[in-house]
A and B are shown apart, each in its own frame.
Chain A
Amino acid sequence: MSAESVSGGPSWTKPRARGVAGADSGAPRIWSLSADAAAGASTLAKATATPGGSARELEAPVGGAGAPGRRRGIRFRGLGLPVYTALALLFLLIPIAYTFVFSFNNSGKLNIAWQGFTLDKWTNVCAAQGVCEAFANSILVGVVATVLATALGTAIAIALVRYRFRARSAISLLLFLPMATPEVVLGAGLAAQFLSLGVNKGLVTIIIAHTMFCISFVVVTVKARVASLDPALEEAGRDLYGSAVAVFWRITFPLLLPGIAAAALLSFALSFDDFIITNFNSGAVDTFPKFIYIAAARGIPAEANVVASAVFILAIVIVVVAQVTRAARAARLARLRG
């Protein structure tokens, strides 16, 4: 590398590789493996919480130019593909619709056959034993594990992008392996350790387990953001009389925030829906997925459908609102630039 390119390179004329995962095109391909995974996994989170403009807006601000050629879709023989897409999405949504519909089932303990419409399950969610307790546990575990994993993972991501050190490849391996290990192995491993140490399993052990498997995902997500951050911005902060602390809190952190928020949302989603690892490390404590698993043997109460449907609707509304707002903002920006 020449010394010239240390200064950040001619970034404004060349639209950079786009998207969370596209921070670099010259890197070995395997990077894009995990980066794609992260881009994929964090898409749900990416949509929300993008204060200060998305990565795209920051990177190609001049003339509103995206990568050339991206505006035109290519023809793919008529209507086949749209119809296929619609059917595939419909297929994906069938069980969601089923769950939602059966949350209104006037059923007894077993929620299998349709017994007639009722709103009772929605108005009295906590009537079914254990549903609300399990849900509260899931929220608690999700929040604590998210905070821990986001803090630990963000620090690692910053260090990996901004510093050179010798143990790099070992650390990268350490971060990659949890993502390549089946959950059942992660769960059994931790459980074996708790067993040999004589630790009583409960909320704490669930939180420990969830934090562990979330860290890698946080690192991948935040790292993409750090890598797309022009180091010249921090240099400009130092040049404009900012001390190290001032530069971090006024420039680095606000610019990383969308990535950190995406990572946190991803962590929460992973934690909230995890069953396999939880099952090995929860002892007598029930999380929402574990409640369903146990209840599955004897029949799920419709209240579980209510909780799941409510969470689903809330998440979808947040994501769609964020997307529409962002589209509106992009349109406004395009108008301003002319």
Chain B
Amino acid sequence: MAFSAFASAPAAAEPAVRRRSWIALVLLLPGILYLLLFFITPLISLVFTSFQQPVINGDIGQYSAGFQWSNYTDSVVQYLPLILRAFGYALLATLLALVISYPLAYFIGVKVRGFPLVQSLLLTLVIAPFFISFLLRTLAWKQIMSDEGPIVVGLKALSIFPSDGHITGTPFAVIFGLTYNFIPFMTLPLYATLERLDVRYIEAGNDLYASPFTTFRKITVPLSLPGIVSGTLLTFIPAAGDYINASGDFLGSAQTSMVGNAIESNFLVTQNYPVAAALSIVLMAVILIIVGFYVRRAGTEDLI
């Protein structure tokens, strides 16, 4: 999978072999230890937690070490709709974000190349949502789409919307929210590759009798594939684990709960740690499998 990520760039840039590897060790050690301590060990304790069993006659939230495989089977059976919903919503939101973002990134990265200031100002607008709280943005949409909000009221006035209809609390609203929130994550990597796209390839395509659409399909899209791959991953991974948009306090309802909501409520509300841990492991495993498969299919087999 994507780990030669870090290793590859310098190797190609300069083969300078340095001898004083103790300096490398001093530079690496603190950060690596930190990640081992606060990233790897937590994942391991998550695995242990996922097999714990309740302490008999103990308080709520008291568990002891064990090998309770049923934590997995039970929680998957119980939360299967939420797991499927999470991946379904994330997939739809990723596709929508891609469709919305690609022309945007293309315009900024290719069309306005001659005007660096315009380019950077447009890019600032794309990332502007980052500068304001993710939660507030989502709440703003909730209120705009609420039953008293302008959209529902307007639609009802025009009688294109049933008088008892809602937008918030529906899958539509959740997918809408996910799409909206991750558009910048999709646009930026797309922009980063499209900005480096040499337009002479497109000109060559047109020169060689390809129609604009064929040129786009056969030249532009393949050349921007790295951006598409990283954009979709940057959208899909957090979207699948998200629990804000689907939460009843935001755009969702009990009928739109995703696996993230189940993890959150089991861990923080009902203190059912083993179930939350098991769901986390399942979520992570499925994401890693999907990501690995996807990266392979996207033509990067040589990277594992």
Contact = CB atoms under 8 A, between A and B. Distances in A.
B291 A6 contact: no
B183 interface: yes
A195 B61 CA distance: 10
Contacts of A153: 31
Interface in A24-68: 24-37, 39-41, 43-44, 47, 67-68
B6 A159 contact: no
B175 to A, nearest CB: 15
B199 A74 contact: yes
Given A181-B284, A188-B267, A171 B241 contact: no
A73 B199 contact: yes
B85 to A, nearest CB: 15
Interface residues of B, number: 134
Query: Most chain-A CB neighbours within 10 Å: which of B122, B202, B234, B277?
Result: B234
B80 interface: no
B148 to A, nearest CB: 7
A142 to B, nearest CB: 13
A144 interface: no
A224 B9 CA distance: 8
B40 A174 contact: yes
Contacts of B138: 95
A226 to B, nearest CB: 8
B45 A85 contact: no
B188 A39 contact: yes
B18 A27 contact: no
Nearest to A90: B125
A162 B10 contact: yes
Contacts of A69: 198-200, 203
Interface of B: 1-18, 21, 23-24, 26-28, 30-32, 34-36, 38-43, 45-46, 48-49, 100, 103-104, 106-108, 110-114, 116-117, 120-141, 143-144, 146, 148, 180, 183-185, 187-189, 191-193, 195-196, 198-200, 202-203, 212, 225-227, 229-231, 233-234, 237-238, 240-244, 249-250, 260, 263-264, 267-268, 273, 276-277, 280-281, 283-284, 287-288, 291, 295, 299-300, 302-303
5 contacts: A30-B3, A76-B111, A82-B111, A95-B180, A172-B5
